[in-house]
Structure 1
Amino acid sequence: MSWHGLRIEQVAQQADTNMSSGLTEKEAKKRFKQFGANELAVEKKPSALKQFIGQFQDFMVLVLLAATAISAMLGEYIDAIAIVAIVIMNACLGFVQERRAEKSLEALKKLSAPESFVLRDGEWKKVPSAQLVVGDIVKFTSGDRIGADVRIIEAKGLYIEESSLTGESLPVEKQTAPLAQDVALGDRTNMAFMGTLVTKGSGVGIVVGTGMNTAMGQIAHLLQSAPTMVTPLQRKLEQLGKILIVIALTLTALVVVLGVWQGHALYDMFLAGVSLAVAAIPEGLPAIVTVVLALGVQRMMKRNAIVRKLPAVETLGCASVICSDKTGTMTENQMTVTRVWTNNRLWTVSGTGYEPKGRFFYNGKEEKPDKQLQQLLLFGALCNHAEIKKKGKTYMIDGDPTEGALVVSAAKAGWTKEKIAHEFTVEHEFPFDSTRKMMTVIVKDRANRRWIVTKGAPDMLLERCRFIYINNEAKPLHEQERKTVQQTVNMLASEALRTIAIAYRPLS
């Protein structure tokens, strides 16, 4: 059903729910029993035994097993044992790697098991998202992960990051009005989808899709039903195996025919031909290939890349063109401040992710942030909603990734959340909107001095500014200075960096 095309009252009617009190516990249990848990169906894993036996299905391995049987029949037991040992070692290496990858994938799946606030019998309750059913009224706020597909019925400055579905890392502003029936998934601004993240604001919605009936469920179905592709290496090894079989059979037949024609016994010639055929098969090839691929997989693991099948690691080596985008969604959708331009100086900031540890460099030499850089980073953290959170040894951001990057960069310069809260107070805020392309706050320090601080798109701020802060002094922003700022923005953008500007003005 095209839920995005219906009015709110129609959605409630179709979902058979009460917007003021939600479902009753009895009705929720009934629907849960009827439609099942709100979980993505996971493809049944093969048993360890079946996975191990699967390692012997490669064509080259079958050729080696045939050679083993013939060697044993000819009494060449040492050769047969050596070939069996190679085949078993090859199977063990492949089996261990696949099991290790499966465990890593299982660990990733456990990361997405959120809870949701749901309205049942007129009361808000926190329940596992797996228990959500169609018709449930749910609410969500900044930092929450959406537990099911939801038609939004209330939105207060609500922005949701949908990169897992659309590939676009910029959060989408949500609203409640109905849309045209043929609107694409990425443009359904009155919907919230399972697995996406609320970066700003809050909202309430009606659950309209659970489990495999969600947009994420459709992706899971496509992944599980996708045909298994043969890698270039597997294709070449199979071709090599077929060529070797043809050569071996041809040699055997040739030796037998020529020997019998010269007067030798048929049995002796058959043994000689088979021995020659076995000798022509490279028993060590599969083992060498497996060891090399295993080493490649280990190198990929050190770079935090999981390779499920050994031959797949070779496929990357066959790539001649890699197509990527600039949204940040091909990695972890984490933003990090790496360059800062102020006072005609371009600083480089070290550190990755959201860990508030890093150093500042100017012209390749490490320096402590000067007064003007400190002030810029401080204003970036004040005009902000994001917070740094630590879970175990991992640092995360509650809020928008871009705002999170600004908070982290300020923390690297010593502006922690506690220090900022002690020194400054945000008195008023003009939130970001798509028309202004800016966010503005009024802040006050302990000496009762006030500033207006604004962050936003460089082009929008540049046309509104009349002064530029250089050497701790506000100077008129002439045409030459404007060109310098614009050239710096263009230079950073050409390096695939996202740019954001910060401006301020003292208040009386």
Structure 2
Amino acid sequence: MNDSASPTSGRRFDSGAGSAPTHWHALPREEVTTLLDASSDGLSEQEALRRLAQHGPNALPEPPRPSPIGRFLAQFNSTLIYFLLAAGAAAFVLGHIVDASVIIAVVLVNAVVGFVQEGRAEQALQSIGNLISPRAAVIRDRQRLSVHTHDLVPGDLVLLEAGDRVPADTRLLRARGMLIDESILTGESVATSKREEPAALNAPLGDQHSMAFSGTTISAGQGAGLVVSTGSRTEIGRIGRLISEVEPLATPLLRQIDLFARRFTWAAILVSGAIFLFAVLVRDYGWTEALIAVVALAVGAVPEGLPAVITITLAIGVRRMARRHAVIRRLPAVETLGATSVICSDKTGTLTCNEMTVRRIVLPAEEGTVSIEVSGTGYEPVGELSWSDPGDPAAAAAAFARCALLCNDAHLHAREGSWRAEGDPMEGALVAFAAKAGFSAVAERGDWVRLDEIPFDAGHRFMASLHRGPGGQVIICVKGAPEPILAMCGLAPSELERWNAAVASLAADGERLLGLAMKRLDEAPARLGFEHVADGFELLGLAGFIDPPRREAMEAIAQCRRAGIGVKMITGDHAATAGAIARQLGLAEEPVVITGADVDAVSDEELVALVARTSVFARTSPENKLRIVRALQSTGAVVAMTGDGVNDAPSLRQADVGIAMGIKGTEAAKQAAEVVLLDDNFASIVAAVAEGRTVYDNIRKMIAWTLPTNGGEALAVIGAITLGITMPMSATQILWVNLVTSITLGLALAFEPSEPGIMERPPRRAEGGLLTRFMLWRIALVSVLFMLASFAMFGLSLARGQEIEMARTIVVNTVVVMEIFYLFSVRFMHATSITWRGALGTPAVLAALVAVVVAQLAFTYLPPLQAMFDTRPVALLDGVMIVGVGVLLMVILEIEKAVFRRFRVFDPAEM
């Protein structure tokens, strides 16, 4: 540091956001001190105030928040809603108060449900701001002070200790055994060691060992450094700007509903206008009579209850997914999950257990080395050691295990049925390994008293501990990176070559490595110094660590591949480690691994082809993740993105559906996501995708049930006006049918379980229309069948001499019965409905059936409803005939489905 510079000197640090260096990590300490005009005495209060005025507070800007009124009004921003409101207004003007009231009520219910479900506004930026520690220890005017982090400025000398949250981006001037958990920025599971020497200029964020970034947590050690960036200019602030620049995407369902609503609205307007002109000009209807006919057409054609029923279906999906550990923050995300074609997943804790485990150890033997496999996962001290080489390495394994326990500060605890490591994860894994080898940590550490130690430091990359044994023996145990450990042991060239080959083999499998060695002394020195660990050690062996993959994640990935869903791992971890995990997970036959640097090196156009063939993206930055997601989306893929850190928030927001981790996820990630996993498990994502597919299937079933029944009513009105005959149903009767059946039969479809083989089908095309070719055919066919049945029953009744009121009553009951039988047919879009399971229905279907039958009996036989709807009691023979029409409809539709499946008239994915 520049000790000669006085804190009150005349120099002024004027570097603004645009001119400040962006490579502080690569600059020597002296140059950093000079550029910031700082000193070991700290800034003066006057200088700190001046810089605070220049750079602003060390805080992130508050994001704009929509008002509750604005959020409520946004629920009406839909073409279909506009049309429904216009239809309601027209009905009111024409004196059809009941019709108008029901339509308006349906629209309001839909808006209220959406408002309540989406009540929490986006708060990602605010959540990131909450990561900044409220107080920071600084040196100012030669005194140690505690100041609010908002008051930190570039050039402040901050003091950092274990447990602190770094208050601003800081260039370290001193680091002693410092380990910083940077997972919220890099996604790397293991704490990063820090030292004050400059890092390489092109070092990625995770390798900038001379920097401490705002919002990260100091796991061990202590140090000091100069603040180089504050507020929105920090790494967290830069990610915050990325979030604010990402426009939330409309989900596939919303896009499809909007397209359908626009087309439906224009078609309804054109047809209504044409029918009105035809009635007036050709059939000599009066203006009022023609308007009433058009209102009847609108009431018959408009699916008044469809928006509300879709919203309720999504809400039911939310409840189902919650039972499978996926909490939905925004309703449309339920359906979007079902359209997912690519899942971009974090590695640590999602695909893996997030618990370091000693997978194997390599020990010296007479003929070279012996490799011992270690079973068990996580920190639970249960497992076995096994080897296939001849000989008995038990003594060597015992010495290795003892050293692993003594040169170790971690402890294991069993809490709520699971084991947790207190301390460094790799040290915790060594304690678990020693227990598997038969050693008690308490007993060994009690027998071999620690006299002194050299803490781990990134500069020398090892830890050493001095111990006195029960018989007075004195030993030094060392543990650290293989290179310094091997150098301490004075191996012959041939031995060194053999051990280097073992190191390369373990690293190629993606394992993190530690070497262990021991040295015996005649007497204990007063203090353990570096001169005591320079040489003379006996190499005890190497330990290979891995964060093991979740077993259920492997099964879920296999299920994704069968369902045509691509899975890509995006992680901040090293390429070799990520590649090894990908192979174990079965992510691809031969997983292609690239790094963030490779992503940076290609253009956006080239990246599209690169991401298509890549399974693993390692050492990625937030910008890399954003570009990867956008490249996938440019191909038409529906992308689900998982994440837990602040660095994941921009890509979570960009993805079609963002999935945050509920256990280890930051609040920023949760607020940016649409889905939060309660168990941080990849298998829960796949379960949620299956639920999403079920929800979409059920929405399609409701549309396939609603539109043909409404279409049949509309065709009956059009046919009556075209032929110049009496309408078979009045507008009020049509509204009764739509209201009663939509809140009973239509809603019952929302509770339908998954159809068999739902995860054996490929993802649907996201940009495909809401109405597939098969559904368009089905809507046309069923609409015509409903119209023909209505006219046939109406004509037959009149031909038998029954009055028009009776004929209309028969037609209304015929339409309702047909809707009941059509419901049983449409419940199985991909299979026959004539099965025992199809006949039994579900509790929701049976309840809806009872409700609609009771309502129709009241409609037909209850005097007050007879007076309101102008109905007459139906005779038993007419009732049997009405039921027969419903049976005939179902038989026709089941024959149609069988023919289409047999001759593959339509793509199975469309059915």
**Smaller-chain TM-score range?**
0.7 to 0.9
CA distance in 2, matches of 1:244, 1:53: 22
CA distance in 2, matches of 1:94, 1:288: 12
Shift of 1:129: 2.3
Query: Measured at CA, do residues 101 and 256 of structure 1 come closer, stay the same or move farther in structure 2, by a change above 3 Å?
Result: closer
CA distance in 2, matches of 1:452, 1:296: 61
1:265 corresponds to = 286
1:85 corresponds to = 105
CA distance in 1, matches of 2:166, 2:484: 33
CA distance in 1, matches of 2:115, 2:435: 45
Amino acid at match of 1:176: E
Query: Measured at CA, do residues 75 and 235 of structure 1 come closer, stay the same or move farther in structure 2, by a change above 3 Å?
Result: same
Aligned counterpart for 1:141 among listed residues 161, 165, 171: 161
Amino acid at match of 2:355: T
Aligned counterpart for 2:208 among listed residues 176, 188, 191: 188
TM (normalized to structure 1)? 0.73
CA distance in 2, matches of 1:417, 1:41: 50
Query: Measured at CA, do residues 172 and 451 of structure 1 come closer, stay the same or move farther in structure 2, by a change above 3 Å?
Result: same
2:408 corresponds to = 384
1:245 corresponds to = 265
Report the 3-state secondary structure (helix = DSSP H, G, I; strand = E; otherwise coil) of the residue aligned with 2:304.
coil
Shift of 1:232: 0.8
CA distance in 2, matches of 1:57, 1:504: 70
Report the 3-state secondary structure (helix = DSSP H, G, I; strand = E; otherwise coil) of the residue aligned with 1:204.
strand
CA distance in 1, matches of 2:80, 2:439: 62
TM (normalized to structure 2)? 0.44
In structure 2, stretches of 5+ residues that fail to align are 1-19, 362-370, 386-395, 490-500, 522-911
Query: Measured at CA, do residues 397 and 139 of structure 1 come closer, stay the same or move farther in structure 2, by a change above 3 Å?
Result: farther
1:61 corresponds to = 81
Contact 1:171–1:199 (8 Å) recurs in 2: yes
CA distance in 2, matches of 1:181, 1:307: 42
Aligned counterpart for 1:36 among listed residues 40, 56, 60: 56
2:735 corresponds to = none
Shift of 1:401: 4.3
Shift of 1:210: 0.5
1:335 corresponds to = 354
Shift of 1:137: 0.1
1:354 corresponds to = none
Query: Measured at CA, do residues 361 and 244 of structure 1 come closer, stay the same or move farther in structure 2, by a change above 3 Å?
Result: farther
Shift of 1:245: 0.9
Shift of 1:341: 6.4
Amino acid at match of 1:76: H
CA distance in 2, matches of 1:321, 1:274: 46
Shift of 1:226: 1.4
Contact 2:179–2:193 (8 Å) recurs in 1: yes
Contact 1:387–1:407 (8 Å) recurs in 2: yes
Instruction: State the aligned residue count.
Output: 473
Aligned counterpart for 1:255 among listed residues 246, 259, 275: 275
Superposed CA deviations along residues 5-46 of structure 1, whole A, max 9, x for unmatched, are 544333223323222x11123432343344332112220222
2:315 corresponds to = 294
CA distance in 2, matches of 1:410, 1:302: 39
Query: Measured at CA, do residues 69 and 399 of structure 1 come closer, stay the same or move farther in structure 2, by a change above 3 Å?
Result: farther
1:309 corresponds to = 330
Amino acid at match of 1:425: V
Larger C-alpha radius of gyration, 1 or 2? 2
TM alignment of 1:361-372, pairs within 5 A: none
1:348 corresponds to = 376
- Please identify which structure carries the higher strand content: 1
CA distance in 2, matches of 1:181, 1:501: 28
CA distance in 2, matches of 1:105, 1:206: 25
Report the 3-state secondary structure (helix = DSSP H, G, I; strand = E; otherwise coil) of the residue aligned with 2:75.
helix
2:625 corresponds to = none
Report the 3-state secondary structure (helix = DSSP H, G, I; strand = E; otherwise coil) of the residue aligned with 1:348.
coil
Query: Measured at CA, do residues 304 and 179 of structure 1 come closer, stay the same or move farther in structure 2, by a change above 3 Å?
Result: same
Query: Measured at CA, do residues 194 and 269 of structure 1 come closer, stay the same or move farther in structure 2, by a change above 3 Å?
Result: same
Backbone CA RMSD of aligned residues? 4.9
Query: Measured at CA, do residues 173 and 259 of structure 1 come closer, stay the same or move farther in structure 2, by a change above 3 Å?
Result: same
Report the 3-state secondary structure (helix = DSSP H, G, I; strand = E; otherwise coil) of the residue aligned with 1:56.
coil
Contact 1:146–1:197 (8 Å) recurs in 2: yes
Superposed CA deviations along residues 442-497 of structure 1, whole A, max 9, x for unmatched, are 444566566665656799999999xxxxxxxxxxxxxxxxx9x99x979xx98x8x
Shift of 1:233: 1.1
2:449 corresponds to = 425
1:23 corresponds to = 43
CA distance in 2, matches of 1:16, 1:310: 53
CA distance in 2, matches of 1:180, 1:295: 53
Shift of 1:214: 0.9
In structure 1, stretches of 5+ residues that fail to align are 352-357, 364-371, 466-482
Query: Measured at CA, do residues 67 and 438 of structure 1 come closer, stay the same or move farther in structure 2, by a change above 3 Å?
Result: farther
TM alignment of 1:204-219, pairs within 5 A: 204-219=224-239
CA distance in 1, matches of 2:438, 2:132: 33
Shift of 1:120: 1.7
- Please identify which structure carries the higher helix content: 2
Query: Measured at CA, do residues 451 and 80 of structure 1 come closer, stay the same or move farther in structure 2, by a change above 3 Å?
Result: farther
Share of identical aligned residues, percent?
A: 36
Query: Measured at CA, do residues 10 and 502 of structure 1 come closer, stay the same or move farther in structure 2, by a change above 3 Å?
Result: closer
Shift of 1:429: 4.3
Query: Measured at CA, do residues 442 and 502 of structure 1 come closer, stay the same or move farther in structure 2, by a change above 3 Å?
Result: farther
Shift of 1:54: 2.0
Report the 3-state secondary structure (helix = DSSP H, G, I; strand = E; otherwise coil) of the residue aligned with 1:83.
helix
CA distance in 1, matches of 2:148, 2:44: 17
TM alignment of 1:154-193, pairs within 5 A: 154-178=174-198, 184-193=204-213
Shift of 1:306: 5.9
